[in-house]
Chain A
Amino acid sequence: MDRFIEDKTTKVKVDYEGAEHKVDFNDLKTGGFIKQRQKDLFTVRLRCPGGRMPTDKLVEVSKLAHKYSKKGVVHFSFRQSLEILYVDYREFTPLVKELEAIGMKVASCGPRVRVPTACGGCEYNPNGLTDTQGLARMVDEKFFGTPTHHKFKISFSGCPIDCARTRGMDLGFQGLVEPEWEEPTCTGCTICSEACKEDAIESDPDTGKPIFSPDKCIYCGDCIRACPTGAWRAKRYGHTIRVGGKHGRHPIDAEEVATFVPDEKIPDVIEKTVEWYMAKGIRGERIGTTLARVGVEDLKKALEPVIGEIAAPEKERT
């Protein structure tokens, strides 16, 4: 591999369908066509919210990738997009037409809300507490492409295991459940204290019944799943909201701004957060840097009308 030999061309003339067009490779990025170091060749990034695709589409995409990739390869990107590599820019028009015909869209890069990523979630994963896939589809439909000061990445994890790494996102949502214990059905079997990996439940030495330490609880729901009698139940489900994380050369860990925010508030939270970022941030700055400059309290205040009092777990119970 020639590591440092690159084609630096940024503008070319294209002749398609009898007309002459000028293509600026930098403009193409917004449409999800990324210039490769190899002359005339581009990566075409597809839009797969939550990393899911119906199998019939996948079959058709495979055929197109096989037809248009000069090297016959695709890449599964870290953000769950399928990228067709080594595509000649002269073939963009037919490729996009053929992609459209099978209902596939091209994703985007640049300073805007990106295609959301998500873990498998509660639909088939027994750990999952939220419908991460459904929420990712909602964000893709409602917010994809919204202009921002810099890239804006959103992700959804279904539980505190956080496979979708919400701490490294501009805006991350991580599912959680608040457990509630009911004495009459408890038989004192002690399974819940075994099931809790956080030592938040101890068994009473005499009765075997749980002694709960809410400050150690991470709201994973293992106790609810394990309890044979249903004495532990779900009191409420919600999301922890994390803002301002990123990876890259200088990673930032996201700030937790709220917790136990229900599903139906998510569109408003996204809207308000982007609004705040556009008002307080500056061009070329990730929201994490804006937060560090302006202060997390400022954002929390802006979010208050949306999430209000719900944004805290009830720590006073025993």
Chain B
Amino acid sequence: MSEAKTEAAKAASPDISPDISIDLRGTLCPMNFVKTKLELEAMETGQVLEVVLDSGEPIQNVPKSIKEEGHKIVDVKREDDHFRIKVKKC
């Protein structure tokens, strides 16, 4: 549990600066996930990708698919009608 707590603390920390950032507002499912996946594939393990996603369907689907592919979501921020998530390539 203490390990989980540190993970949570890390996830909440604001100082993770992304290596790459993509804005997928307006990109529909499942293209938003495909673009995220392609971006992650081109990155090195341990690097962080920032993805901006619309709320609704994109935020319902993309994070869960990222998890299923084995990557880690280390930060999530809600901004008006969209989300800014940071993904660590695993």
Contact = CB atoms under 8 A, between A and B. Distances in A.
A197 B60 contact: yes
Contacts of B65: 126
Given A184-B4, A185-B5, A194-B59, A225 B76 contact: no
Q: How large is the interface on A (under 10, 10 to 19, 20 to 34, 35 or more residues)?
A: 10 to 19
A270 interface: no
Interface residues of B, number: 24
Closest A-B pairs by Cβ, 9 of them:
A189-B76, A228-B73, A225-B64, A185-B4, A194-B59, A226-B64, A187-B12, A195-B60, A185-B8
B60 A228 contact: no
A191 B58 CA distance: 11
Contact of B5 (A184, A194, A222): A184
Given A189-B76, A194-B55, A194-B59, A225 B4 contact: no
A185 B7 contact: yes
A190 B78 contact: yes
A194 B8 contact: no
Given A194-B60, A229-B4, 20 more contacts: A126-B64, A184-B1, A185-B7, A189-B77, A189-B78, A191-B76, A191-B83, A194-B56, A195-B60, A195-B64, A197-B60, A222-B60, A225-B64, A225-B67, A225-B68, A226-B60, A228-B63, A228-B72, A228-B74, A231-B8
Interface string B40-84: 000000000000000110011001110110001110111000010
B11 interface: yes
Nearest to A186: B8
Interface in A175-189: 184-187, 189
Contacts of A189: 76-78
Interface string A288-304: 00000000000000000
Contacts of B78: 189-190, 208
A230 interface: yes
Contact of B67 (A194, A197, A228): A228
A38 B68 CA distance: 53
B60 A229 contact: no
B60 A187 contact: no
B16 to A, nearest CB: 13
Contacts of B1: 184
A298 B30 CA distance: 48
A222 B65 CA distance: 11
17 contacts: A184-B1, A189-B78, A190-B76, A190-B78, A191-B83, A194-B59, A195-B59, A195-B60, A195-B64, A197-B60, A226-B63, A228-B63, A228-B76, A228-B85, A229-B7, A229-B73, A230-B4
A149 B65 CA distance: 47
A63 B65 CA distance: 40
Contacts of A191: 59, 63, 76, 83
The binding surface of chain A is classed by DSSP as: loop
Contacts of B64: 126, 195, 222, 225-226
B59 to A, nearest CB: 5
B69 to A, nearest CB: 11
Contacts of A197: 60
Nearest to A195: B60
Residue in B12, B64, B74, B83 with the greatest tally of chain A CB atoms within 10 Å: B64
B14 to A, nearest CB: 12
Nearest to B57: A194
Residue in A194, A228, A229, A230 with the greatest tally of chain B CB atoms within 10 Å: A228
Contacts of B74: 228
Given A195-B64, A228-B63, A184 B8 contact: yes
A229 B59 CA distance: 15
Contacts of B68: 126, 225
Interface in A181-219: 184-187, 189-191, 194-195, 197, 208
